[in-house]
Every structure is written in structure tokens, then in C-alpha cells.
Amino acid sequence: MHDHAHHHHPHTHPHPHRHSRRGFLSTALGTAWLGFSTLERAALIAGRARAQSRGPQPKLFDLEKVADGVYGAIARGRAILNCNAVVFENSNDLVVVDAHAAPSAVYALLAQIRAEVTQKPVRYVISTHIHGDHTQGLPGYRKAEPKAEIISSARTREVLAATGAARVKSAVDNVPRSIENLRQRMASAKSAEEKAWCAEMIAQSQAFMEEMRNVTAEIPDITFNDQMTLHDKAHDLHLSFRGRGHTAGDIVVYCPQKKALASGDLLHSFFPTMGDGYPRDWPATLRSIDELEFEHLVGGHGGAQQGKQRLPQLKSYIEELIEVVGKAKKDGMPLERVQEMVTVSSLKSLGGGYGEFLVKEVKRLDFRVQLNTPEDVAQRGIRENVTAVYRNLDRV
Ligand SMILES: [Zn+2]
């Protein structure tokens, strides 16, 4: 275990830039603003006011007790996807796994923990992997819980130190394009529901962009290579790197006394995200996770799981993709053909209820596809996975 002691000087902004709401929106949306009707403008201003208000916020999480002293903070759908958190309650403090897409989500979770669970302070924040929806909120812990230390794998810290700032910048830089797409969709929306969804998506995206302009990326204080244990009177927490999968450095957090596992994005209730993944390593990593005797699981996205049912299902799905996509690629089939060839019905591993489970969870908890049909959600999930496997199959 390397202990990187860092001194942090949390940036404070005593004089934040103030924009009038209307002024900010018209500036940020540019000429797009002119394309909105009075009604649409009112919806955008209201959404933005809601997102920024210091009053009661909409709940961003459902805080569910999954075992004694273990809580899953299941992220509700947002325009900017938040990961779940897992909260382990020690005898005098808390350990929280993962930190969402923005500091405001961390503040919302902390307020919810205070209101619904305990006043105990956060001692450790564990980052399962590099992705922004799990790490961009870390600066929020620096401010709200300045004594908390951030733990990750050495590999994750290395990548965050090298690219964290660029990752935050690119997450923010991508927002205007997505707002422009939403604006176009809003203009041709076929229902009031679709129009309202677009307005809410735009308002949340704007609030995110404005918040993140002043946020600098944070990096972990404490790292380990393979495993480390946090001991407490209440329980032990075993942090371990079990092989590459979703990224090169994912870790899981296992509590043997409570038989609870925080599995990050190696195993969750949405389609796996494989764009930064190592498909050929992932099944073996899942086999290693299967050695842990867990009964309760909270992954990075989607609802909590009881039992181990989904682990072999995900493993079979990835193995089938490797087989089918691998063969097609070897035969020289271009990616576009493979994307057409591999479908919900062509994949055996999505049978037995697994495909339906994934689609249901995505529909329930990913606001970005709330209006999509189940068929579309499935097809998108598979298409993204096929593309990633095709590209990353033989990554070293
Ligand atoms: Zn991820």
C-alpha cells in the first residue's frame, strides 16, 4: 500500500459569477434560444431554477438498506448519468464507494444520508474506477468532508492523475452538442411528454455545465495494487483488484460479515459499458469475483441485486460476444455488418430473462432513454457492446 499524502487546498469561490437565469440560458443556448416558444422558454427557466435552487432538491438517489449497516444509494435517472454509491456504516464513521458525476450529487447524497441514516462523518471514499460518472463528484467530498481520504487502485490513480482534468473538460465540452440535439428534438417533439422531457434534459445539462466550469479534478490519496483491508469494529471491508474488465483498474469492495459486495461497473444491472474495457479478461475477473461469498450486491448502475444470479449471466453474455464478434472480425466482416448481424434474438445469453432484466433496469433508472422503446434500449445496448468488443477484443 502506498500512502500518498497530499495537502489539499479546496478552492472556494466567495464571489461566484452570477447570471440572471434568462440571461445565462440565452447566452448558453445562443441563437437556439430564439427558436423557443414562450412556453418552452418558461419550461427551461423553471427547470434551471429548480436545478439551482438552494431549497429542497429533487432526490437524486433512493437510499436502500441492503444489509445491516450497508446502504445502496441507487441513482435516479438524470440527463448526466450518476453512478450509484454504496455506504458502509462503521462504528464511528462511514465508507462511501464512488462519487457520481458532479459535486452537487455528492452534496445531495450527504444530505440524504444525514436525513435518513446517520450523522456520522465520511472517513473514506473509495473510487472503483476512473470514469467521470464515478469520480467527477470527488471535489465535493474535499469540500463537504475535508477529512475523508480517497482510495483507489494504483492504476486508477495513475490514469486520473494523468487525464482527470482532460476528462472533466471533455465531459463539459460534450454538453453543448447534446443540448443542440435536444433542442432540435424539442422543436419537432410529437407529444407534450416528449417536449417536457427535452426541456428537463436541457435544464439539467445546463446546470451541469455551469457547475463543472469551476470544478477541478481530484485524485486519490491512498492506493494499493491487489488488495487492502479496512478494519472496523462493525465489519471489515476487503478492497481488491481482481483483474481487468470494465477498465484496467477496477476494484470491488467486499464485506464478509454482511455478505455484501460493491462491484462498481464490473457487474451491475445495466448493459455493461465496454468502451474502455478488456473483453477477454472480463470473464476471468468475474470468476474471481464469484469466489467472494456475497448475497447482496450493489453495482455502479441500476438496482441492488440479491444473490449471484446475474454474475454468470453477464459472464455468458460477454463470452458469447467475444465468440460471435471475434469470429466475424477474424473472417474480415466489417463492423457495420457485425452490428446488423448481432441482435437481441441472435444472442442466446440474453435469453432466460437476462435481456428483459437489463432493459427493464435501464428503462427504470436511465432518464436519457426514458422515452425509448424497450426494443430500442436493447438494440442500443447490444450495438454499443458489439462495437466495443470489435474494437477492444485484442487490446493488450
Ligand atoms: Zn464506468
Q: How far is the CA of 47 from the centre of ligand 1 (A)?
A: 28
Q: How far is the CA of 174 from the centre of ligand 1 (A)?
A: 17
Strands 2-3 and 222-224: antiparallel
Q: How far is the CA of 266 from the centre of ligand 1 (A)?
A: 8
Q: How far is the CA of 11 from the centre of ligand 1 (A)?
A: 27
Q: How far is the CA of 132 from the centre of ligand 1 (A)?
A: 8
pLDDT, tens digit only, all 396 positions of the chain: 444 444 444 443 434 444 444 455 555 555 555 555 665 566 556 655 655 555 566 799 999 999 999 999 999 999 999 999 999 999 999 999 999 999 999 999 999 999 999 999 999 999 999 999 999 999 999 999 999 999 999 999 999 999 999 999 999 999 999 999 999 999 999 999 999 999 999 999 999 999 999 899 999 999 999 999 999 999 999 999 999 999 999 999 999 999 999 999 999 999 999 999 999 999 999 999 999 999 999 999 999 999 999 999 999 999 999 999 999 999 999 999 999 999 999 999 999 999 999 999 999 999 999 999 999 999 999 999 999 999 999 898
Q: How far is the CA of 127 from the centre of ligand 1 (A)?
A: 11
* Measured distance CA(290)–CA(251) in Å, rounded: 14
Which among 255, 350, 369, 206 has a CA at the least distance from the CA of 302?
369
End-to-end CA distance of the chain: 26
Q: How far is the CA of 342 from the centre of ligand 1 (A)?
A: 23
What string of DSSP letters covers 31-52?
Answer: GGGGGS-HHHHHHHHHHHHHHH
Calculate helix-pair angle for 154-173, 175-187, nearest 10 degrees: 40
Q: How far is the CA of 129 from the centre of ligand 1 (A)?
A: 7
Most distant CA atoms of the chain, gap in Å = 61
Q: How far is the CA of 227 from the centre of ligand 1 (A)?
A: 20
Protein residues placing their CB within 5 Å of the ion ligand 1: 131, 265
